Structure 1
Amino acid sequence: MNVLVWVREGVWPAAVDAARELAGVDDAVTLVHVVDPAIAAGAQGAYAGLLGRGGWSPRGRTDPGAAVTAAETGAEEALMAAAGERLGRDAAPVFRRGRVEREVVEACAGMDLLVVARDGDVRRAGPKSLGPASRYVVDHAPCRVLLVWP
């Protein structure tokens, strides 16, 4: 069985724990994390809008979009390392860029099971218990989906 675990900030331990319990010794486990480049682009756009296209680089100020991208990459690598360590077995890490929900659905290609931790309002049951990206993934994943509570 091919198991895909969606590693997301805040709720990833529950998904990793569920995968650790369910995946057999012969099963392949993949950890996927997605970063939306629109976040860094927003910082870059704000900088360009406030300071003009050229910014103030002659005065030593640089575009914050690059700093945001570097911070995202560092945080992503640390998060995936922690998830792999918690899983306690070999897992293939997959780093994707794009709209989070669409990238996760695309990463499901060839998988038998997707493990997702819910990320919505923990006081509610039903549709509000999932965030928009999770709802999209649950509705469109081309494989079985295991939804766990964090």
Structure 2
Amino acid sequence: MAVVVWIVEGTWSTCVDAARAHAPEGTEIVLLHVSPPDVPGAAHDAFAGLLGRGHPERDPGTALEHLAAASAEELLTHAAERLGRPCTPVERTGRVEREVVAVAEGADLLILARDGDRTHLGPRSLGPASRFIVDHAPCPVLLVWPETAPDVASIPPPPPHLPHHP
């Protein structure tokens, strides 16, 4: 069995706990973190546009890339320690939703957490990337609440019934 656990700041611990609870011993577990390229890319572009390309050592985009990599490594280290069993940490850079789906290809389970409006049950409890991942996952998905799920009373009322036209 192979399980991919999407590691995201703020919800990773719940996903790791779900992997511990639902993945049998001996399961190959991949802890996946994906860094979007847009912030370092914007800094690279701004630096090139404002200051030219003559001083690459002063490019703030490079510093942001290093900070993002260090942050991802630290997060994956904490996740592996919390998991407490063998796993493979994977750091990727790219369109987050597409990278997660690509890594999940061939997996037996993908674990991710709700990351939208967590005060109500329903589809808005998923952010855009998570919604894409759930809709396109090439394997079964375990979707967990990062905290206690809201009460079923939080479900919005149904729309008013419209009469049928003859």
Q: How far apart are residue 10 of structure 1 and its match?
A: 1.0
**Residue matched to 1:127:** 123
**Residue matched to 1:30:** 30
Moved more, 134-143 or 24-33: 24-33
Task: Give the whole-Å Cα distance in 2 for the aligned partners of 1:130 and 1:80.
Answer: 22
Task: Give the whole-Å Cα distance in 1 for the aligned partners of 2:26 and 2:71.
Answer: 30
Task: Give the whole-Å Cα distance in 1 for the aligned partners of 2:62 and 2:128.
Answer: 27
**Residue matched to 1:10:** 10
Q: How far apart are residue 139 of structure 1 and its match?
A: 0.3
Q: Percent identity?
A: 55
Residue identity opposite 1:66 in structure 2: T
* 2:62 counterpart of 1:66: yes
TM-score by length of 1: 0.92
Cα deviation per residue 1:31-86 (whole Å; 9 max; x = unaligned)? 111112222101111222333444xx49xx71100000000010010000000000
**Residue matched to 1:80:** 76
**Residue matched to 1:45:** 45
Larger Rg: 2
Task: Give the whole-Å Cα distance in 2 for the aligned partners of 1:31 and 1:4.
Answer: 6
Task: Give the whole-Å Cα distance in 2 for the aligned partners of 1:104 and 1:73.
Answer: 17
**Residue matched to 1:137:** 133
SS at match of 1:9: coil
SS at match of 2:58: coil
Q: Which runs of 4+ in 1 moved over 4 A?
A: none
Structure 2 unaligned spans of 5+: 147-166
Q: What is the aligned length?
A: 146
Task: Give the whole-Å Cα distance in 2 for the aligned partners of 1:82 and 1:10.
Answer: 12
**Residue matched to 1:99:** 95
Task: Give the whole-Å Cα distance in 1 for the aligned partners of 2:25 and 2:127.
Answer: 32
TM-score by length of 2: 0.83
* 2:86 counterpart of 1:90: yes
Q: How far apart are residue 7 of structure 1 and its match?
A: 0.4
SS at match of 1:89: coil
| Root mean square deviation of aligned Cα | 1.5
Task: Give the whole-Å Cα distance in 1 for the aligned partners of 2:53 and 2:117.
Answer: 40
Task: Give the whole-Å Cα distance in 1 for the aligned partners of 2:96 and 2:104.
Answer: 13
SS at match of 2:130: helix
Structure 1 unaligned spans of 5+: none
Task: Give the whole-Å Cα distance in 1 for the aligned partners of 2:27 and 2:15.
Answer: 16
